Amino acid sequence: MEDQLGKALASRLNKQQMEKMLYLNEYFQLGPLLNLARERPLLISGLVETYWRTRAEPVLDYVPGLWMRIDLFRRLQDNIKRHELSFVPSMTVFALFMVAPIDVLRSRLDNLERNAQEKNTAEVQEFIEQCRNTVAVIQEFVSAQARQVGGSGEDNSHLLHSMNLCKKRDRRKCSISRMENPEAVPIFPNTIHSPNLLSMIDTFWGTETAARLSPLIRDPVFLKSPQNMLSLNRQLSWWYQSGRIAFKPLRKTNTNSLVIQFHWLKKSKLEPAQLFTDDMDIWEVMETDEANGDYDDHYGGYEDSDDDYRNGCRDEGYYDDQYDGGYDGDEMKSQPDMYRDKNYVQLRHWGQGVEGQGVEGQEVEGEKDLEENDLE
């Protein structure tokens, strides 16, 4: 039996995998694996199938605890069926399950199960409404209106002053590519006013995170300050604000720099409000969605500290018809006049080379590094 299983397994593996299997056999580790496969014959084929699927979609490597997240989402679906809840999760909820802190997701599901079993209808309904509201929050957050920079009169003058301070803080160089003459780009849209945003953060990232971000999100002065801006060259600025790229903060260095992860975002074929019905397969959805690029990285940043948020490395995953014209998910389009930028070709090569890798930005400076009279 073990011989037959071994041959069946070998027929599904490539050369590199075969070498690893022979290594396991040499050190007497293959036998227990084959015994397990005999008891659960679908296990090996499932693992191999999953392997090829994850290789086909490299971004899945960037999702920490992928299997746990899938199990948690299935647990949500099971609870909906078991307790006959009038709710079908959207693709937005699915995307949030792929990036929100696992301990918070687990805690929310524990509460849902307990409240459903104890017939605490109000608590169950509150969770369902919070999940439903995520679609509206995402759509507002990524709308063209939310990304609009500028105003009128004194308000516009203050914003322009903050943008100038941002570029001065960053030595008038792009924080990512270090090219000169950058644009000041808002990290968090300064015109967003969603009452459900903090509720969504509380639900999926926890009360502590919501409490930490609340003073920033509710503060119009902060939203239009240099703290809520980063310097990007014109091309990166356009890619960033139109949802073509995303930056995820990873860690701070001893030199006061911030290491970020750079992502090209493919255009999603799924819509935020599209429902995740029972007949859908999770793996097929993840492949169709092409990495959920419009949402995942964006909210992955919330797990990091508010210092990282202030330092300008939250990503902005946008999805809007304004930017969809002629956009091919396999080719990064450019702003029409961007080819005139100095070192543009090198910039594209740079972007392709750092996909998914840690990139160290220039030193991050705080308010104390600016002249006092500049902040008046």
Per residue in 306-328, pLDDT tens?
333 333 333 333 333 333 333 34
In terms of domains, do 260 and 364 share one? yes
| pLDDT-flagged residues of the chain (< 70) | 1-10, 41-62, 142-155, 191-194, 266-268, 283-376
Whole-number pLDDT of residue 165: 94
Q: Is 91 inside any structural domain?
A: no
Neighbour-count burial of 346, counting CB atoms closer than 10 A to its CB (0-12 exposed, 13-18 middle, 19+ buried): exposed
Q: Is 122 inside any structural domain?
A: no
CA distance 264 to 329: 10
Q: Is 330 inside any structural domain?
A: yes
Count the residues in the chain.
376
CA distance 198 to 109: 19
Please give the DSSP secondary-structure letter assigned to residue 266. Answer: P
In terms of domains, do 52 and 143 share one? no
**What total of structural domains would you count in the chain?**
2
In terms of domains, do 39 and 151 share one? no
Those residues whose C-beta lies under 8 Å from the C-beta of residue 311, and which sit 6 or more positions away, are: 230, 249, 258, 364
Whole-number pLDDT of residue 168: 94
3-state secondary structure of 246: strand
Q: Is 73 inside any structural domain?
A: no
178-213 pLDDT per residue, tens: 889 999 998 877 766 567 788 899 999 999 999 998
Would you say 35 and 28 are in contact if contact means Cβ atoms under 8 Å apart? no
From the list 323, 320, 267, the residue with the least C-alpha distance to 143 is: 320
In terms of domains, do 16 and 152 share one? no
Which residues, listed in sequence order, are joined to residue 246 by a DSSP beta bridge?
Answer: 263
In terms of domains, do 144 and 252 share one? yes
Q: Is 310 inside any structural domain?
A: yes
Q: Is 191 inside any structural domain?
A: yes
Give the pair of three-digit tokens for residue 19: 């070498």
Domain containing 8 equals 2-56
Would you say 244 and 297 are in contact if contact means Cβ atoms under 8 Å apart? no
Q: Is 161 inside any structural domain?
A: yes
